[in-house]
Amino acid sequence: MKKLFERYQRIILIVFVTLFSTSLNLGQTFGFGCLGLSGFYAGFTKQQYNTDGINQFINSKFLSTSNKINFKEGSGYRIGTNLFRAKFEGFFISAKGYYQFLKETHELVEISVPNSAKDKYTLNMNHWGLAIDFGVPIISFIDLKLLEGGVQFFNIDFNHQYYLNDLIQNEKKYEPEKSKVSYFIGSGLIIHLIPDYISVEGTAAYSFIKYEKLVSAEGSSIPTLATGKIPFDKGGFSATVQLNIGFPL
């Protein structure tokens, strides 16, 4: 399974590079003006994921409480650049790059302790992304993105902070042993508010995310021998809404 997963990552990278090169060649063939748009954008994303290993690691420490922590969805802002949007007769191809801020936080208060004690858990999934999309115009001001695919370079860390009377007493951070490339596929709509200059874009996608182990500087790891489940065994659906500011090339 691990070899198959890594093979899919290589295939996605090859496809991305091939599509990017093909788009540039098409742009050169049809003339510089057909590249259409370049610019930047900002938006907001909600990302689902399956983190049974992290949830089990946390909740195994609080068996006496009915409050269970469940990391399942992060949210955050995205900033990026539309490298180009090449417009041809009846379809378009775009290339983009972005940085995504993604975070989810949970807290548990230990009411059995005389003082005010709190455990705070934060999962950061910030990442860089590169993507290509292909679509067609529906009407004069709405485009349909038939397919969008890309790669993601996650900078994951899982942070546990212990507070006593609102003063931090201990902090431990878990990170992957090595970086891995994830990927996503999706589709969406583009609504042109001011053609060639301002548009609103919505994207629904599925991300493939898998990390088998997180480790701390002190040598602790997730999963432990007692829990067994890996931190990330699969990804999930995401939704992004963004405002594009462009200019014709």
State the residue for tokens 């590079």.
Answer: 17
- CB-neighbour burial class of residue 152 (10 A; exposed 0-12, middle 13-18, buried 19+): buried
Q: Which amino acid, 127?
A: H
- Choosing among 3.40.50.2300, 3.40.367.20, 3.30.460.10, 2.40.160.20, the CATH entry for 2-248 is 2.40.160.20
- pLDDT in the model for residue 201: 97
Q: What φ, ψ does residue 102 adopt, rounded to 5°?
A: -140, 125
What does DSSP assign to residue 113? S
From first to last of the 249 residues of the chain, give the pLDDT tens digit: 444 445 545 555 555 555 555 545 554 444 334 445 689 999 999 999 999 999 998 988 776 666 789 999 999 999 999 988 888 888 999 999 999 999 999 998 876 667 788 899 999 999 999 999 999 999 989 999 999 999 999 989 999 999 988 889 999 999 998 888 999 999 999 999 998 899 999 999 999 998 999 999 888 889 876 667 889 888 899 999 999 998 876
- pLDDT in the model for residue 21: 56
**Alpha carbon distances (Å) from 37 to 115, 144, 196, 245:** 59, 16, 7, 10
- pLDDT in the model for residue 22: 53
Q: Distance between CA 55 and CA 126 in Å, rounded? A: 19
Q: What φ, ψ does residue 62 adopt, rounded to 5°?
A: -130, 55
User: Hey, what are 129's tokens?
Assistant: 């992304």
**Alpha carbon distances (Å) from 194 to 79, 83, 96, 172, 212:** 20, 19, 20, 49, 46
Spans of all domains in the chain = 2-248
Q: Distance between CA 41 and CA 246 in Å, rounded? A: 8
User: Hey, what are 204's tokens?
Assistant: 């629904």
> Could you report the per-residue pLDDT of 4-18, keeping only the tens digit for each?
445 545 555 555 555
